[in-house]
Amino acid sequence: MPHRPAAGPRGAARRTLRTGPDIAMKILSGTALAASFEDDLKREAAALTGQGIRPGLAVIQVGEEPATQVYVRSKVKTAERVGMHSVDHKLPATVTQADLEAVVDRLNRAPHINGVLCQMPLPPHLDGGRITRLIDPLKDVDCFHPYNVGLLALGEPRFLPCTPAGILELLTRSGIAVRGKHTVVLGRSNIVGRPLSILLSQKGWDATVTVCHSRSEGLVELARQADILVAALGKPEFVRAEMVKPGAVVIDVGVNRVADPTARRGYRLCGDVHFAGVAPRTSAITPVPGGVGPMTIAMLLRNTLVGVRLQHGLAEG
Ligand code: GUN
Which of the 8 DSSP states describes residue 86? E
Phi and psi of 286, rounded to 5°?
-95, 140
Half-sphere exposure of 128 (CA within 13 A, CB side): 14
**Structural domain includes residue 303:** no
What CATH number should be reported for the domain holding residue 198?
3.40.50.720
Q: Which of 151, 170, 200 is the last residue of a domain?
A: 151
3-state secondary structure of 201: helix
pLDDT of residue 19: 54
Kindly state whether residues 21 and 167 are assigned to the same domain. Answer: yes
Q: What is the pLDDT of residues 174-215, one digit of tens each?
A: 999 999 999 999 999 999 999 999 999 999 999 999 999 999
- Based on the structure, what is the number of domains in the chain? 2
Q: Which atom of ligand 1 is nearest to the CA of 121?
A: 1
Note whether 187 and 233 are within 8 A (CB).
yes
CA 99 to chain centre: 28
**Structural domain includes residue 171:** yes
Kindly state whether residues 169 and 200 are assigned to the same domain. Answer: yes
Ligand 1 centroid to Cα of residue 64, in Å, is: 15
Ligand 1 centroid to Cα of residue 16, in Å, is: 31
pLDDT at 3 over 80: no
Kindly state whether residues 67 and 138 are assigned to the same domain. Answer: yes
Q: What is the pLDDT of residues 137-153, one digit of tens each?
A: 999 999 999 999 999 99
Kindly state whether residues 147 and 164 are assigned to the same domain. Answer: no
**Structural domain includes residue 289:** yes
Q: Give the H/E segment covering residue 240.
A: none
Q: Which atom of ligand 1 is nearest to the CA of 142?
A: 7
pLDDT of residue 14: 59
Q: What is the pLDDT of residues 73-123, one digit of tens each?
A: 999 999 999 999 999 999 999 999 999 999 999 999 999 999 999 999 999
| C-alpha span between 167 and 250 (Å, rounded) | 11
**Structural domain includes residue 307:** no
Kindly state whether residues 141 and 170 are assigned to the same domain. Answer: no
**Structural domain includes residue 84:** yes
Q: What is the pLDDT of residues 40-55, one digit of tens each?
A: 999 999 999 999 999 9
Q: Is the CB of 119 under 6 A from ligand 1?
A: yes
pLDDT of residue 25: 84
Q: Is the CB of 117 under 6 A from ligand 1?
A: yes
Kindly state whether residues 144 and 175 are assigned to the same domain. Answer: no
pLDDT of residue 316: 81
Q: What is the pLDDT of residues 224-265, one digit of tens each?
A: 999 999 999 999 999 999 999 999 999 999 999 999 999 999
Q: Give the H/E segment covering residue 26.
A: strand 24-28
Q: Could you list the residue range(s) of the whole structural domain that residue 130 is in?
A: 56-113+119-151
Kindly state whether residues 224 and 83 are assigned to the same domain. Answer: no
Which of 119, 131, 257, 296 most suits a substitution to test ligand 1, by most atoms within 8 Å of the C-beta? Answer: 119
pLDDT of residue 317: 72
The pLDDT confidence band at residue 6, using thresholds 50, 70 and 90, is: very low
Ligand 1 centroid to Cα of residue 247, in Å, is: 31
208 has which bridge partners?
182
pLDDT of residue 191: 98
Kindly state whether residues 184 and 286 are assigned to the same domain. Answer: yes
Active-site positions read 75, 119, 142
Kindly state whether residues 141 and 179 are assigned to the same domain. Answer: no
Ligand 1 centroid to Cα of residue 144, in Å, is: 9
What CATH number should be reported for the domain holding residue 73?
3.40.50.10860
The answer for residues whose C-beta is within 8 angstroms of residue 269's C-beta and 6 or more apart is 255, 256, 257, 288, 289
Q: What is the pLDDT of residues 263-279, one digit of tens each?
A: 999 999 999 999 999 99
Cβ contacts of 149-155, under 8 Å, gap ≥ 24: 149/190, 149/195, 152/195, 152/198, 152/199, 153/198, 155/1, 155/202, 155/203
Kindly state whether residues 167 and 258 are assigned to the same domain. Answer: yes
Q: What percent of the chain has pLDDT over 70?
A: 93
**Structural domain includes residue 306:** no
The pLDDT confidence band at residue 12, using thresholds 50, 70 and 90, is: very low
Phi and psi of 212, rounded to 5°?
-115, 155
Kindly state whether residues 200 and 140 are assigned to the same domain. Answer: no
| Alpha-carbon Rg for the chain in angstroms | 19
Using the Cα atoms of residue 61, residue 5, residue 32 and residue 253 in order, give the sign of their dihedral. Answer: positive
Strands (E), 63-207: 85-91, 115-118, 182-186
**CA dist list (Å): 42 to 49, 85, 101, 138, 234:** 10, 12, 31, 22, 32
Exposure string of 271-281, with b = 16+ CB inside 10 Å and e = fewer, is bbbbbeebbbb
**Structural domain includes residue 311:** no
Kindly state whether residues 142 and 287 are assigned to the same domain. Answer: no
Q: Which atom of ligand 1 is nearest to the CA of 300?
A: 6
Q: Is the CB of 162 under 6 A from ligand 1?
A: yes
Label residue 251 exposed, middle or buried (CB < 10 Å: 0-12, 13-18, 19+): buried
